[in-house]
Amino acid sequence: MNDLILIINAGSSSIKFSLFIQTAADPALLYKGQVEGIYVDPQFSAKNAAGDKLADEKLPADAPRNHDYALRYLLNWVQSHTEGRKLAVIGHRVVHGGTAFTKPVKVDAGVLAELDTTIPLAPLHAPANIGPMKALASLLPDVPQVACFDTAFHRTQPEINQLYALPVELAEREGIRRWGFHGLSYEYISSVLPDIDVRAATGRTVVCHLGNGASMAALHKGQCVLTTMGFTALEGLPMGTRTGTIDPAIVLHLMTHLKMNAAEIESLLYKESGLLGLSGVSSDMRELHSSAEPRARMAIEYFANRIVQQVGSLAAALQGIDALVFTAGIGENDDELRRLVCTPLQWLGVQIDEAANKVRSGEPRRISTAQSTVPVYVIPTNEELMIARHALHCIGL
């Protein structure tokens, strides 16, 4: 039976996968796993839906350390765990869709050629996303593939929220606009909101996607009005190792006074800054919480402060706020960070329920008091399920 859906999320040094099975309702997760450290010391791991470890092994030492081999290794494992069932479709997470792709698309030769034109917009991610599509087209030519874009959800932003105040001709020619990212996560949240809070789903909701990468989005009737990430995933909130928004003249200063080149500045902005740079301790929230170093606490408070500022900005863009949602690794698990964000938002009508905020659960939940005029929710995101739904829909199943 062709009822399996394979989701591929390929990055520059890892390929993550999830395997779903089609059901009468939403697709159900069977396995998830990844090959990490592709060019260094590739390691494969996989778990079942309950989280039990099924594999954790190094790839053969004499095998090529590249994406192609990692993909074939992963595919072999998947195919030996399908129990006679077959793949109906493969869904890919693609970081950048440019202007060409505003919704998921079935992959064919024309789409692959068009995707190649997005490489200058995401030079690190796009080749990693596109490579597995090309490889799978020859490895499994009969299985349709669907590409789902992290930028697509943000194309509903009003034009002025997508523009930078740069000369129009230059910006258009170079594709310099506020693309926004984490779109599949926001789309998932938007898809489940009607079951959680109808007023939030039909009204004005600010969603905080707080993980290693962090961004926020203002949703009106479930559609994006404004998001904090822009041309790249560097704009907006500070993140694990990324600066978030800084004065662009800092870059000029680094070039002219410190004579730093593009690669050095890129490393500084993407890999050495954010929570890691501020704290000098770690990019990982859990390590910051357990550190006695005062700068670790300062980094946490800085992060919360910038989120609070953005809630104000996004609520202004929405002309009000009917709900606030936390999601992703930090948003779903870090009650202290949520408390630090919600407490200064009392002026907006946010009143956090301290006990509800401390509850640990994998389910969507409300963490504000009954009196809070703005309800606050924790909603676990599920980008892979969003891709699985799109993949089935795109091939008409």
Which residue ranges make up the annotated binding site for ATP? 16, 209-213, 284-286, 329-333
* Nearer to ligand AMP (CB atom), residue 74 or residue 276: 276
Residue among 212, 232, 291, 305 that touches ligand AMP (CB under 6 A): 212
Tokens linked to 333:
């698990």
150 has catalytic annotation:
yes
Helix (H, G, I), strand (E, B) or coil at 146: strand
For 138, other C-beta atoms within 10 Å of its C-beta total 7
- R_g (Cα) of the chain, nearest Å: 21
Q: How many CA atoms lie within 13 A of 356 on its CB side?
A: 16
Q: How many CA atoms lie within 13 A of 148 on its CB side?
A: 30
* Nearer to ligand AMP (CB atom), residue 115 or residue 288: 288
Residue among 330, 348, 387, 388 that touches ligand AMP (CB under 6 A): 330
Among the listed ranges 8-16, 134-142, 196-204, 327-335, the one in contact with ligand AMP (CB under 6 A) is 327-335
14 lies in the site for ligand AMP, by CB under 6 A = no
**Could you tell me if 200 and 375 are in contact, meaning their C-beta atoms sit under 8 angstroms apart?**
yes
240 lies in the site for ligand AMP, by CB under 6 A = yes
CA–CA gap between residue 328 and residue 213 (Å, rounded): 9
Residue among 260, 284, 305, 340 that touches ligand AMP (CB under 6 A): 284
Residue among 45, 202, 245, 333 that touches ligand AMP (CB under 6 A): 333
Residue among 219, 285, 296, 352 that touches ligand AMP (CB under 6 A): 285
Q: How many residues does the chain have?
A: 397
* Nearer to ligand AMP (CB atom), residue 206 or residue 348: 206
Cα–Cα separations (whole angstroms), residue 62 to 65, 68, 267, 282: 9, 14, 31, 34
**Residue 296 C-beta: closest distance to ligand AMP, Å:** 12
For 49, other C-beta atoms within 10 Å of its C-beta total 14
Residue among 222, 236, 329, 364 that touches ligand AMP (CB under 6 A): 329
Residue among 318, 375, 319 at smallest CA distance from 349: 375
Residue 361, φ and ψ in degrees, nearest 5: -165, 155
What residue spans of the chain are helical by DSSP H? 67-79, 109-116, 125-139, 159-162, 168-174, 183-196, 198-202, 249-257, 262-271, 274-279, 285-290, 294-318, 328-333, 335-342, 354-358, 383-394
144 lies in the site for ligand AMP, by CB under 6 A = no
* Nearer to ligand AMP (CB atom), residue 104 or residue 331: 331
Helix (H, G, I), strand (E, B) or coil at 100: coil
**Residue 208 C-beta: closest distance to ligand AMP, Å:** 12
Annotated binding site for substrate: 93
Among the listed ranges 10-18, 253-261, 330-338, 347-355, the one in contact with ligand AMP (CB under 6 A) is 330-338
* Nearer to ligand AMP (CB atom), residue 222 or residue 331: 331
Annotated binding site for Mg(2+): 9, 383
Closest residue to ligand AMP, Cβ-based? 329
* Nearer to ligand AMP (CB atom), residue 101 or residue 377: 377
Q: Which residues are known to be catalytic?
A: 150
Which residues are near ligand AMP by CB under 6 A? 211-212, 240, 284-286, 328-330, 333-334
